[in-house]
Amino acid sequence: MTVPALQNTSVFYRRVLSQFPQDISLAFAYGSGVFKQAGTPEGQMGKNMLDFVFAVDDPVTWHTMNLMQNRKHYSILKFLGPRKISTIQNDHGAAVYYNTLVPVDGRIIKYGVISTESLIDDLLHWKTLYIAGRLHKPVQMVLQGDDGKLRAALVGNLKSAATASFLMLPESCSEDDLFLQIAGLSYAGDFRMVIGEDKAKVANIVKDNSQHFRTLYNNILLECPQVVYKPQQGKLEVDKSPEGQFVQLMALPRTLQQRITRLVDPPGKNRDVEEILLQVAQDPDCGSVVHQAISSIVKYASITQSAKGVVTAGLLKSVSYSSKKLLKMWKGWKRKAS
């Protein structure tokens, strides 16, 4: 099974990609500059910043080449050289290095660079849920190589998103309920949702993109034995029995299972993960425990990556970027009040 393509890659996206070193295993664009979101004024979408992520096999070589081609994209950290930049990328925050507010072909873009190895790790294990969370939602794939392990990890990440969401949903729910839960996973615990993001962001993402979510998750829902999916009616029946929830908990990514264990198991007991998950599966508050565990992953990653972003973007760009986010949040409040 492969991740379904949502739409054909436009000439523009390929043109953007051509301005960077070509040793890229995966490239995708995401966000409000790519997919229309509810509440976005007519004509605004084309003015929004375009967000990209590039996965590269060898970050040192890639940054070496990019510093030669696009030195102006980098903050003062460019003087540290590609090896130090790669260390900052890999060892801090969510293992991604962003250059932001970059003018390319008449648009402003932001692009993150992550090693293929770190991306696969996040997709499979939800170590930070930072890039994996973006890939729970519709994205515009610009380039996807032949790495079988990466392809399998992309599909596994979607299955994990659906499974985690089943645990937090009632027995009967709609497709949109599921898509809202999935879209919200990577925002649970994110401090930027308190200050810096439009509070209606998750609902806005889903409202105009239900068909894109359906394309991503249709086969997963049809093939999942813990769910009865009725696509014609847009409804789902989720197995909420202790046995069904235990199967779902055992299928969750490793880091999430570990966080659940920490929440439930008192220090010093040292029970094995399977025993603890069996206990959680029988708990009426199972969904709440899963939500708390996801929040703990996202919270740490969002804080550390944002702190890193101030350094990688530089002070002036950080202030400019943050002010745009705050303005967007204020406009969201204004729309809600009117």
Most confident of 162-171, 196-205, 321-330: 162-171
Question: Taking the domains of the chain in order of start, what are their residue ranges?
Answer: 11-337
64: Cα within 13 Å, side-chain hemisphere:
6
Q: How far is CA 307 from CA 6, 90, 155, in A?
A: 33, 14, 30
| pLDDT at position 41 over 70 | no
Give the dihedral of Cα atoms 294, 300, 306, 312; nearest 10 deg: -120
* Confidence band, pLDDT 50/70/90 cuts, at residue 210: very high
| Burial of residue 285 (number of CB atoms within 10 Å: 0-12, 13-18, 19+) | exposed
The two tokens of residue 174 are 């709609």
* Confidence band, pLDDT 50/70/90 cuts, at residue 327: very low
pLDDT in tens, 107-165: 999 999 999 999 999 999 999 999 999 999 999 999 998 899 999 999 999 999 999 99
Asked if residue 108 lies in contact with residue 46, where contact means CB atoms within 8 angstroms, the answer is: no
- Would you state the pLDDT for residue 208? 87
Amino acid at the residue 269: K
Counting DSSP H helices and E strands in the chain, the numbers are 14, 8
- Would you state the pLDDT for residue 317? 61
- Would you state the pLDDT for residue 307? 85
* Contacts for 288 with CB less than 8 Å, ≥ 6 apart: 168
Q: What is the mean pLDDT of the chain?
A: 88
| pLDDT at position 94 over 70 | yes
The predicted model gives 327-332 an average pLDDT of 46
Percent of the chain residues topping a pLDDT of 90? 70
pLDDT in tens, 68-82: 999 999 999 999 999
* Nearest alpha carbon to residue 163 among 280, 258, 287: 287
The two tokens of residue 268 are 């010093």
Place of tokens 């809202």: 180
* Contacts for 132 with CB less than 8 Å, ≥ 6 apart: 122, 123, 126, 157, 186
DSSP state of 49: P
| pLDDT at position 300 over 80 | yes
- Would you state the pLDDT for residue 62? 98
- Would you state the pLDDT for residue 2? 67
pTM score: 0.88
